[in-house]
Amino acid sequence: MSPYVLPDLAYDYAALEPHISARIMELHHSKHHKAYVDGANNALAGLDEARETGNFANINRLEKDLAFHLGGHINHSIFWTNLAPNSGGAPEGELSAAIDEFFGSFDKFQAHFTAASMGIQGSGWGVLSFDPVGKRLIIQQLFDQQGNTAQGTIPLLQLDMWEHAFYLDYQNVKADYVKAFWNIVDWGNVAKRFEAARAGASATLLIS
Ligand code: MN
């Protein structure tokens, strides 16, 4: 039994061109994301076996594999739906108001998110999150697939800053990749996630 499944994309691999090429999308979805799905399923299977046999000699590796691969599966699943052809622009409504409230303006938010994404040392993600404790938006640097974010924060918008996400198209010029990203953000998807996060906030951590 494989609990995790590679999701279909809502658009063709070529749909995000010229901002992200079809070749990157195909490799990124069918190879990289698929490997995280398989890795998460394998980690669960390994943990099943460990419980069955009572042999927990590999527990640290299995738990680390689960965090990394499940992280990768979740991160990419969010990322694909954050993007859409013929999108970009700026958020509207309550999301726009919240961005103004917590970051000063949309321009300041974009500058902060861009700097956080560009500044990641090694592989990782820029993430706009809802913090259910402070009931506010925050920007986080997610390291690898699973590190450096606070428990319980809810991701709304993620930008993949692993080299596999941009190197074929942009080589080492990360700034052009991040600039292109703003042209394909589906703010309607981010707004839906914001609404759901706020609605569920009081139950998320039960500490506030
Ligand atoms: Mn990736």
CA of 183 from ligand 1 middle (Å) equals 18
Sheet holding 136-143, edge to edge: 136-143, 124-131, 154-160
CA of 68 from ligand 1 middle (Å) equals 12
Q: What is the pTM of this model?
A: 0.96
CA of 32 from ligand 1 middle (Å) equals 6
CA of 192 from ligand 1 middle (Å) equals 23
CA distance 105 to 169: 30
CA of 129 from ligand 1 middle (Å) equals 18
CA distance 87 to 8: 19
- Entry field: residues in the chain: 208
**Helix (H), strand (E) at residue 148:** none
Instruction: State the CATH architecture for 93-206.
Output: 3-Layer(bab) Sandwich (3.55)
CA of 55 from ligand 1 middle (Å) equals 33
CA of 167 from ligand 1 middle (Å) equals 11
What pLDDT is stored for residue 208 in this prediction? 58
CA of 28 from ligand 1 middle (Å) equals 6
- Kindly give the residue spans of alpha helices, DSSP state H, lying in 54-205: 59-82, 93-103, 106-118, 167-170, 174-181, 187-204
CA of 164 from ligand 1 middle (Å) equals 6
CA of 165 from ligand 1 middle (Å) equals 5
DSSP state of 14: G
CA of 90 from ligand 1 middle (Å) equals 24
- The domain limits of the chain are 22-82, 93-206
Positions of the chain with pLDDT under 50: none
CA distance 139 to 25: 25
User: 22-82 belongs to which homologous superfamily?
Assistant: Fe,Mn superoxide dismutase (SOD) domain (1.10.287.990)
